[in-house]
Amino acid sequence: MLETEKKSFTITRTFDAPRAQVWRAWTDPDEAAAWWHPRGIVTPRDSVELDVRPGGSYRYTMVAPDGSTYPSGGVYREVVEPERLSFTWTDPGDTQAHAPLITVTFDDLGAQTRMTFHLDGYGGQAGDEDVYDGWDQAFDILVERLG
């Protein structure tokens, strides 16, 4: 795949929650299971494993109402608590060499937190057009959960 075929996007959200709470939503498997999916899909808690440290891996599986499963996983590249996470994102069976990279930053605004989510290098996979919408919906669920 040519580099020009790869896609990227950024989503920024401000949450009515302190940074430590938003960080926990990203790094606690119980919390992640509650929102790491778009609407209408679930992420069973027993499918979520997080080893949140540089070089640590994570995995989770989303399950659609028809029973279809969507496994995801990757490796943490950078973990700077509570400011920044950077990790690969792909099917757990795929190589990490060309996996898309997600970088999430958390800006402390006192009682609020501004999260900037950037996905870089995505493309050429089935369902590509739904990736932005899926993450956007997941963040809607996170807003509700933190509220």
Q: Is the distance from CB of 88 to CB of 101 less than 8 angstroms?
A: yes
Specify the pLDDT at position 45. Answer: 98
Q: Domains along the chain?
A: 3-146 (3.30.530.20)
CA distance 18 to 29: 19
3-class DSSP assignment, residue 61? strand
Confidence (pLDDT) at 126 = 47
pLDDT of residue 147: 84
pLDDT for residue 93: 74
> For 33, what's the count of Cα atoms within 13 Å in the CB-facing half-sphere?
10
pTM: 0.90
How far is residue 114 CA from its own chain's centroid? Answer: 15
In 10 A of CB 142, how many CB atoms?
22
Instruction: Give 42-82 pLDDT, tens digit per residue.
Output: 999 999 999 999 999 999 999 999 999 999 999 999 999 99
For residue range 95-138, list pLDDT tens digits in order. Answer: 777 899 999 999 999 999 999 999 998 875 545 568 899 999 99
pLDDT at 39 over 80: yes
Structure confidence at residue 125 (pLDDT) = 52
- The CA-based angle 23-91-28, given to 5 degrees, is 20
